A and B are shown apart, each in its own frame.
Chain A
C-alpha cells in the first residue's frame, strides 16, 4: 500500500505523450539517487578501506594470523585467536541468555500481560538500548563486577572450583562480567524483534488451539512458538551480531588479557575491545595495520551474522522490516 502501487500522473502523462520527465522530477530523482549512492558508497568504502589498510598486516602476518594465539606487539608477533575466541564466547553466551529472557519478555508483552503493564514494561526494555555503552561499562566496573565477585564468583569457586567453568580466580572483572553486561545490552534487540515476530502469528492459530481445549500455555507451546520459531532464531542472531560488535562496555569489564579459557572468571579480550584499547597507542605501521585487519575480520563476521539474521526475520514477517523499536 505504498506509493509504488499508485501510478503518478507525471509518469503516465509523460509516457503517453512520449515526452521525457519534467525538469523538477529529474532533479528530484537525481538528488534521491545521490543519497542512495552515498549510502552504498559508505558500505563499499568501508570494505575497500579496511582491506587496503590491512594489506601490510596480511603480507607480514599471513593466514596464520587467524589461528595463532600469540599477541606480542613489541616483537610484532600477531595472532588473533584469543580475541576471536573471546568475542564468540561472550557474544554467544550473551545471545543464549538474552534469547531466554527476550522471548520471555516478548511472550509477556504479547500473550500474557494486561495492557496497562505491557506499555511501561515494553518502554523500559526499549530504554535499555538507550543507555550509552560507556555508562554500562562504568556501572559494570564499579557496581556489577564487585557484586558478581562477592555473591557469585567466590561462592561458586569455593564449592565448585573443580569444574573448569568456575576454576579461575574470582576477581570480578572477566568473562562473566562481560557476558552479564552484554546480555543486558543485547536484550532489547532480541525482545523487540521477538515481540514483532510473535505478534505476527495469525490470531486464527491461537483460536484454533484454544478451541481444541488447550490452556494458554499449551496454546503458546503448540500454536505460537512453532510458528514464530525461525523469526525468534533470527532475533537471537541479530542479538549475536550486536554482541559481537559491542565495544566499550565489554572493553571495560573483560579485563583486557588475551586468554583462551573455559573459565568464566578469567579475564579475556575481544576483537572490538583490542581495537578500542590499542589502536590509538599503536606505535608502528604494522601494528596499526594489524589492528585494522582485526577490524576487517570483525566486519566480515558481523556482516555474515547480520545477513543470516535478516533473512530469517524477513521470512517470518514477510519482507516488512522488524524490530520496530529504533533504539
Chain B
C-alpha cells in the first residue's frame, strides 16, 4: 500500500517534468532574437517572430491586472474586515462561484457586453475579460491573508484612537501586503497563460498594435493558432513561444516562493 502511494506521487510529478522537458528541448532551438523583434512573416518564408503577441500580452495583462486588482482587494477587505457573518459567507460563496466559471464563458460574456456594443474586437475587451478571471483569485487571497493578521494589531490601532477604516488601510493591509502581492503576481501569471477568453474578445493580430480599441495579439493566442496549423515553422515557433510563456510563469512562481514564503499549508 505504501508503495502504491509513492507510485501516485511519482506519477503525479512526472507530467510536469515531461512537459517542461519538451517545452525546453523543442523550444530552445527556435529561440532566436528575431522571435522577440519581428512579427509573423507571410507563409512560406522562414524566420519571423511573435513580437505582436509579446507586446499584446504585456499590454492586455497589464491593463487587466490594473483594472481587476483594486476591485478584488477591496472585495477581499470587505469579506474579512467588514461583512457580518452571514454576508461574509454569501460573498465568499459568490467569489468561489465566479472562480469556477470557465474562462471561455467569460470570453462569451465580454463578447456580448463589450465587443458587440463597441462594434468590433478590441484589446480593451480582452483586458477586461482577463480582469474578470483575475478577480476571484486575488479576492480570495486577500481574504485569507487578512485573516492571518492578529486581532491584537487591530486592537492596538483602535486603542490609539485610529478609526476603523484607517486601521484597515494603514495597519492591517500593510501587514498582509506580502501575501496579497504574492497572490496578485500569481494571478497575473495565470491570466497571462489564458487564451480562451481572448479568442473572441481580442481576436489576435499579426501586426504589432498598441491601440486598445483595435484587435491585439497575445502569446497564448498565437500558440493556439500556430499549434493548430499544418506548418513546421509554425510548430517550432509555437514551442519557442511556449518556452517564453512557461519560463515567465515559472520564474514568477519560483521567485515569489523564495521572496515571500507563504505560510506552509502542508
**A4-B85, A36-B78, A134-B195 as given contacts; A108 in contact with B242, CB under 8 Å:** no
- Contact check, A138 vs B74: say whether CB atoms are below 8 A apart: no
Give Cα A134–Cα B242 distance, bound, in whole angstroms.
8
Check A29/B100 contact, CB under 8 A, given A3-B151, A135-B19, A248-B224.
no
Distance (whole angstroms) from the CB of A12 to the closest CB of chain B: 9
B43 interface residue, CB < 8 Å from A? no
Is there a chain B Cβ closer than 8 Å to A81's Cβ? no
Across-interface contacts of A1 in B (CB, < 8 A): 147, 150-151
**Which stretch from B29-37, B44-52, B103-111, B206-214 is at the chain A interface?**
B103-111
Assembly CA distance A252 to B253 (angstroms): 26
In the bound assembly, the distance between CA atoms of A78 and B78 in angstroms comes to 45
Q: How many Å from the CB of B236 to the closest CB on chain A?
A: 11
Considering the chains assembled together, what is the distance between the CA atoms of A217 and B4 in angstroms? 11
Q: Does A77 contact B (CB under 8 A)?
A: no
Which residues in chain A, 267-314, are within 8 Å of chain B measured between CB atoms? 272, 275-276, 279-280, 291-292, 295, 298-299, 302-303, 305-307, 310
Measured between beta carbons, the chain B residues less than 8 angstroms from A100 are: 8
In-complex Cβ contact of B5 among A11, A108, A123, A142 (8 A): A108
* Distance from B66 Cβ to chain A, minimum over Cβ atoms (Å): 15
The residues of A that contact B127 with a CB separation of less than 8 Å are: none
Tell whether, in the assembled complex, residue A110 and residue B266 are in contact, meaning their CB atoms are under 8 Å apart. Answer: yes
CB nearest neighbor in A for B159: A9
A245's contact among B74, B105, B165, B238, by CB below 8 Å, is which?
B105
Question: Within the assembled complex, what's the spacing in Å between the Cα atoms of A251 and B182?
Answer: 31
Scan A126-157; emit 1 where CB is below 8 A from any B CB, else 0.
Answer: 01101111111111011100000000000000
Q: How far is the CB of A100 from chain B (nearest CB, A)?
A: 7
Looking at the complex, which of A58-66, A163-171, A205-213, A319-327 is the stretch in contact with chain B? Answer: A319-327
Tell me the minimal C-beta distance from B23 to chain A in angstroms. 6
Check A222 for interface membership: any CB of B closer than 8 A: no
What is the CA–CA distance of A308 and B20 in the complex, to the nearest angstrom? Answer: 34
A302's partner among B77, B92, B101, B154 (CB-CB below 8 A) is B101
Pick the contact of B203: A31, A137, A280 (CB < 8 A).
Answer: A280
Q: Which residues does chain A contribute within 8 Å of B239, judged by CB atoms?
A: 138
The residue on A at minimum CB distance from B81 is A3
Q: Is the interface of B mostly helix, strand, loop or mixed?
A: helix
Q: Are B96 and A11 neighbours in the complex by a CB distance under 8 Å? A: no
Residue in chain A with minimal CB distance to B74 = A35
Interface size class of B (residues with CB under 8 A): 35 or more
User: What is the size category of the interface that chain A forms with chain B?
Assistant: 35 or more
A177 interface contact, C-beta 8 A: no
Nearest opposing residue in chain A for B77, CB measure: A32
Q: In the complex, which residues of chain A have a beta carbon less than 8 angstroms from the beta carbon of B259? A: none
The answer on a CB contact under 8 Å between A279 and B193 is no
Q: Contacts A28-B168, A306-B100; is A131 near B75 (CB within 8 Å)?
A: no
What CA separation (Å) do A222 and B23 show in the bound complex? 43
Sample of 14 more A-B contacts, CB < 8 Å, known A131-B246, A184-B15, A307-B97: A8-B154, A49-B112, A101-B11, A123-B257, A127-B16, A132-B193, A132-B246, A135-B245, A142-B26, A191-B12, A196-B265, A279-B199, A327-B189, A327-B253
> Which residues on B are within 8 Å of A, measured CB to CB?
1-2, 4-9, 11-13, 15-19, 22-23, 26, 70-72, 74-75, 77-78, 80-85, 88-89, 91-98, 100-106, 108-109, 111-113, 132, 135-137, 139-141, 143-144, 146-147, 150-151, 154-155, 158, 161, 163-169, 172, 183, 186-187, 189-190, 192-196, 199-200, 203, 220, 223-224, 227-228, 235, 238-239, 242, 245-246, 249-250, 253, 257, 265-266
- Contacts A/B (CB < 8 Å), 26 sampled: A3-B80, A3-B81, A8-B164, A9-B163, A11-B164, A28-B169, A31-B74, A39-B94, A45-B109, A101-B12, A102-B12, A105-B9, A122-B266, A131-B16, A132-B246, A135-B193, A138-B227, A187-B12, A217-B2, A245-B101, A299-B102, A302-B101, A303-B97, A310-B93, A321-B92, A326-B190
